[in-house]
C-alpha cells in the first residue's frame, strides 16, 4: 500500500501498542477475538486510535464527517431536535462529539429558533477530540462533559458515526461450519486465526445456513449492547421525569437482509489512514481508524427489546430533506455564487446517492415521543 509515512513518535506509539497486543495474545493462549483486537487498537489507554493524541478529523486527520462538511447538517438536525424537545426534558446528550462542530451548529440553530436548552452533555472517549470540543464550544456555557453514560436521561440523544467505531466480531463460514475469525501473533506479526464460534454470534445472521463457504462478515454484540444500555437510560429518564426521550443515530450501514447479502461475501471492515481507505486492520495499530458498517436491524431490535419504540428509519438524504436542509440552503442567495455554490456542493455530498445520501441511514427510537408527520413519507422501518 502506498500510504503516507508517520513520524517517529507515532511509529514508537504504534510499536508500543503492538507489544501490548502481542503480550495479551500470548497470555490468552495465542488467540484473541477480533472484537478485542479492535477494542485495543481504538481504545487502549494512551495508545489507541481514539484514546491517543493523534488528529482524527479534517485535513490533518484520517476522515471527514458530515458536520465537518457543512454547518447545515447540524442546523437541519436542530429542527428535528426542536420538535422532539417539546416532548422531552430541555436537554441533549451527544455520544462521540468529534470536533464539537455538530454540537455548535445544533446549539446555534436552536438559539435562533428560540428553543431553550438547559444542558448539552457530551460523552467522548477521545482526549484529543475532547480538547478540540472544549475550544469549539467555549461560548456555550450549557455544555458539560461526562466520562460515561448516565444511568438515566430524559431529552434528546444524538450519535453521529458512533456505532461504526464499536468493536465487531468477525465470522467466517468454512467447510467445518461457522468459525470466529480472531487474531494470532507469529514472529511479531499479527494474522488471522479461526476458531469454532458461539451459536449466539451466528444467530445474528439471517439465513446463515444458506450463505456460501468462504463468506466473511461482522456481527455487532457490542453495539447492540450499547443500544440496550441507551434504552435503559432513556426508559429510566422517562420513568423519573414523566417526560419523553428520543435518540437519533446516524451512521453508514444496512438492514440485516442487505448487510448479510450473499454478494457481500467479504464483509464491510475498513480502515482509514490520512484520508486513504484500505482493508488491513494490522497496519500501524493505533494510528488508523478501524470501522465496520452498522447492522441497523440489530440496533433497532436491541432498542425495542430494551423498551423503546421505533420512531423512524430512513436514508440520510431523505431525513435531511424532510428536516428542511433545502430551505436552510436557500438562506444563502443563489445570486451570490461565491457563497452559495460551496454550500450547495456540500449539501449535495450529504444527500447524493453516489456520496453519503444513501449509504448513511438515520434510526430514531424513543419513548413517549414521536417524529413530525413529515418524516412518515420516506420511512423505511418496514425494511428492518
Confirm if 240 and 369 have CB atoms less than 8 A apart. Answer: no
Higher-scoring residue by pLDDT: 98, 316: 316
**What would the mean pLDDT of 3-32 be, rounded to a whole number?**
93
Q: What's the rounded mean pLDDT across residues 207-218?
A: 97
Span 324-382, pLDDT tens digits: 999 999 999 999 999 999 999 999 999 999 999 999 999 999 999 999 999 999 999 99
Give the right CATH number for 27-383 from 3.40.30.10, 3.40.50.12710, 3.40.50.10260, 3.40.50.1980.
Answer: 3.40.50.12710
pLDDT tens string 79-129: 999 999 999 999 999 999 999 999 999 999 999 999 989 999 999 877 778
Query: Half-sphere exposure of residue 207, counting CA atoms within 13 Å on the CB side?
Result: 10
pLDDT per position as a tens digit, 280-311 = 999 999 999 999 999 999 999 999 999 999 99
- Cα–Cα distance, 367 to 346 (Å, whole number): 33
Percent of the chain with pLDDT over 90: 89
pLDDT of residue 57: 47
User: Could you tell me which residues come within 8 angstroms of residue 331 by beta carbon, excluding any fewer than 6 positions away?
Assistant: none
27-58: pLDDT as tens digits: 999 999 999 999 999 999 999 998 876 554 45
Written as nine digits, the cell of 25 is 495474545
Provide the pLDDT for residue 16. 96
Mean pLDDT of 215-222: 98
Would the pLDDT of 2 be above 80? no
Residue 4 predicted with pLDDT over 90: no
At residue 60, the pLDDT reads 52
Residue with cell 489507541: 48
pLDDT band for position 62 (cuts 50, 70, 90): low
Locate the domains of the chain by residue range. Answer: 27-383
pLDDT at 174 over 80: yes
Q: Could you tell me the three cell numbers for 279?
A: 482493508
The predicted structure's pLDDT at residue 7: 84
What mean pLDDT is reported for the chain? 94
* 133-153 mean pLDDT: 96
pLDDT of residue 55: 53
Per-residue model confidence (pLDDT) at position 116: 83
Quick one: cell of 247? 435518540
- The pLDDT score that the predictor gives to residue 214 is 97
Neighbours of 359 (CB within 10 A): 16
Amino acid at each position: 500500500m502506498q500510504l503516507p509515512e508517520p513520524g517517529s513518535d507515532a511509529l514508537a506509539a504504534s510499536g508500543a501498542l503492538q507489544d501490548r497486543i502481542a503480550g495479551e495474545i500470548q497470555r490468552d493462549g495465542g488467540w484473541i477475538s477480533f472484537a478485542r483486537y479492535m477494542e485495543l487498537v481504538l481504545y487502549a489507554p494512551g495508545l489507541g486510535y481514539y484514546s491517543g493524541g493523534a488528529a482524527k478529523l479534517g485535513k490533518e486527520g484520517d476522515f471527514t464527517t458530515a458536520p465537518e462538511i457543512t454547518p447545515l447538517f447540524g442546523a437541519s438536525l436542530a429542527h428535528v431536535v426542536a420538535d422532539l424537545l417539546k416532548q422531552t426534558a430541555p436537554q441533549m446528550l451527544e455520544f462521540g462529539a468529534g470536533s464539537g462542530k455538530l454540537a455548535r451548529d445544533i446549539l446555534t440553530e436552536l438559539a435562533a429558533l428560540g428553543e431553550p436548552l438547559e444542558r448539552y452533555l457530551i460523552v467522548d472517549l477521545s482526549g484529543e477530540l475532547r480538547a478540540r470540543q472544549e475550544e469549539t464550544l467555549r461560548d456555550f456555557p450549557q455544555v458539560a462533559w461526562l466520562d460515561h453514560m448516565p444511568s438515566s436521561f430524559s431529552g434528546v440523544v444524538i450519535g453521529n458515526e458512533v456505532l461504526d467505531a464499536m468493536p465487531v466480531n468477525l465470522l467466517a463460514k468454512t467447510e467445518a461450519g461457522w468459525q470466529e475469525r480472531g487474531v494470532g501473533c507469529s514472529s511479531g506479526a499479527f494474522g488471522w486465526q479461526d476458531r469454532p464460534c458461539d451459536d449466539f454470534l451466528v444467530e445474528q445472521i439471517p439465513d446463515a445456513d444458506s450463505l456460501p463457504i468462504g463468506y466473511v462478515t461482522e456481527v455487532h454484540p457490542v453495539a447492540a449492547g450499547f443500544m440496550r444500555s441507551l434504552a435503559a437510560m432513556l426508559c429510566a429518564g422517562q420513568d423519573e421525569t414523566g417526560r419523553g426521550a428520543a435518540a437519533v443515530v446516524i451512521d453508514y450501514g444496512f438492514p440485516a437482509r442487505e448487510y448479510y447479502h450473499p454478494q457481500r461475501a467479504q464483509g464491510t471492515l475498513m480502515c482509514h489512514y490520512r484520508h486513504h481507505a484500505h482493508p488491513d486492520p494490522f497496519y500501524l495499530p493505533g494510528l488508523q481508524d478501524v470501522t465496520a458498517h452498522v447492522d441497523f436491524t440489530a440496533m433497532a431490535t436491541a432498542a425495542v427489546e430494551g423498551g423503546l419504540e421505533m420512531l423512524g428509519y430512513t436514508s440520510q438524504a431523505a431525513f435531511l430533506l424532510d428536516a428542511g436542509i433545502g430551505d436552510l440552503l436557500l438562506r444563502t442567495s443563489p445570486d451570490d455564487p461565491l457563497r452559495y455554490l460551496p454550500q450547495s456542493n456540500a449539501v449535495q455530498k450529504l444527500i447524493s446517492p453516489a456520496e453519503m445520501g444513501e449509504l448513511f441511514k438515520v434510526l430514531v427510537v424513543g419513548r413517549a415521543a414521536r417524529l413530525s408527520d413529515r418524516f412518515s413519507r420516506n420511512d423505511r422501518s418496514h425494511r428492518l
